[in-house]
Amino acid sequence: MTRNDRTTPRTARVLGSLLLVLAAGVFTLGAAPAPPEAPVTPLDQVVPAPASVTPGGAPYRITRATAVRVDGSAGVRRVGAYLAGVLRPSTGYPLPLTEHGGGGIRLHLEKGGYGAEGYRLRSGPFGVTLTASAPAGLFHGVQTLRQLLPAAVEKRTVQRQDWRIAGGTVEDRPRYAYRGAMLDVARHFFTVAQVERYIDELALYKVNELHLHLSDDQGWRIAVNSWPRLARYGGASEVGGGKGGFYTRAEYRHLVSYAASRYVEVVPEIDLPGHTNAALASYAKLNCDGVAPPRYTGTEVGFSSLCVSKDVTYTFVNDVIKELAALTPGRYLHIGGDEAHSTSHADYVTFMDRVQPIVAKYGKKIIGWHQLTGAHPAQGALAQYWGLDSTSAAEKEQVAQAARNGTGLILSPADRVYLDMKYTKDTKLGLSWAGLVEVQRSYDWDPGAYLAGVPAAAVKGVEAPLWSETLTTSADIDYMAFPRLPGAAELGWSPAATHDWDTYKVRLAAQGPRWDALGIGYYRSPQVPWPSG
């Protein structure tokens, strides 16, 4: 058989196919074939659930001709550039930013009832318009738009997809102003790049607070110029005996700036007066007996305490808080206060009475674990509740009484939203002291009604902590956070009326392919109807 003989059948097939296309009237010289038309994601099938959805009308299709239209302000341009950066790799389209023209995807600020973070998304055949009162609202609207596109939009190479956004209107704003996640970088240290990755994951679900647990018995993770051994010596350890690490001032500033670019506020925590072995090991004078203990690489808690009676303790606290406050433009500074078992109650109250004014002096609002309610919470302080369903009625009432007296609450019940709790007894990572926390249990509770006797207005938000005793890699973080983190985010964002496990689990399941595209390895809970294949 000659070479021409071998190619003749293929040539005939190609010519036949072209004739069929020409007969249909859709052939354009030089154009790639259109991708297959895929189902359009309904406007109400995103996480967190929007406050209001009105479907209707034809969808909008993103094409090579689509532009991202922005108002002239720098904040809107930044959000537009972020959106284009998400869409360009997978679509292969140029998606230029422009202040002119019609159609396309428009980002627009206007005065209205959107609040600091709310937005409106309108989609129709001629374009999509995102409207908000502030850039943060536009950014959150971009996350909704992102989820309305096929999961392949998250890939970093060109995908052959039909990029359509369902027609209709989404009106959305958060239930709570504080929607947080905590990352423990003290038990095991995580690099700047690893924290940046987690920030991006939080932003996808409209989480707006990143609580960084920067100090504990096992390590001190932030450079303090006035007390340099804290990071240099106290930072050189972690659980299991690894090398640990710390953030330089420049690295910390970078993390704060990166988070701000995703409209996430960093909440730094220096845990006091307990959980302080790394500091005590670094400076002998912080110990009551003047003897520095060895560094600690275990996981037990409650054995360490600053010396409440020494004046140097408060010089130390003042210096650390002063420097950290100067590095942190956000509103909050977390002073810990939990598991101070080696501090007497009287000393604990004395310590908190002296430390809280220091935080206020440097312009920050105080957050403390809910044990702070056993002392005298300062005016405007927030208490972070991490108890269990089974926590004693007396302890819950102490928290409720503080709430009735004006202390705001952030809810982080450990047997609901501690992301380091094992899913089942067979989960290789994580702990189980608060019980096993499957996905439904993590989602199925109402922050507004969780603690009896707490006024609904006292609940300021929800936070999902991730402690790192057993976590060492980004893959570990992903596996324990997903799929529970989006549920905590929804509890913080969505109206109580949207809260329903049976509908949520379907929306959650649809996130699986998106996580696959993003390279997020997650726990495939049997409680969730994940797509087959």
Q: Which of 171, 196, 339, 395 is catalytic?
A: 339
Per-residue H/E/C for 310-365: CHHHHHHHHHHHHHHHHHCCCCEEEEECCCCCCCCHHHHHHHHHHHHHHHHHCCCE
Which structure tokens are listed for 191?
Answer: 């690099």
Contact between 90 and 156 (Cβ < 8 Å): yes
Task: Tell me which residue of 186, 177, 156 sits closest to 269, measured CA to CA.
Answer: 186
Contact between 239 and 298 (Cβ < 8 Å): yes
- What size, in residues, is the chain? 533
Q: In terms of C-beta density within 10 A (0-12 exposed, 13-18 middle, 19 or more buried), how is residue 88 classed?
A: middle
User: At 103, which amino acid appears?
Assistant: G
Task: Tell me which residue of 514, 512, 516, 515 sits closest to 528, measured CA to CA.
Answer: 512
The CB-based long-range contact list for 245-251 (8 Å cut-off, 24+ gap) reads 245/189, 245/191, 245/219, 245/221, 246/189, 246/219, 246/220, 246/221, 246/222, 247/192, 247/221, 247/222, 247/223, 248/223, 249/223, 249/225, 249/327, 251/192
The residue behind tokens 């440097």 is: 362
Q: Centre a 10 Å sphere on the Cβ of residue 161 and count the other Cβ atoms it contains.
A: 19
Please state, in angstroms and rounded to a whole number, the distance separating the CA atoms of residues 342 and 323: 27
Specify the DSSP class assigned to residue 391: S
Q: Centre a 10 Å sphere on the Cβ of residue 252 and count the other Cβ atoms it contains.
A: 22
Active site residue 463: no
- Residues identified as active-site: 339
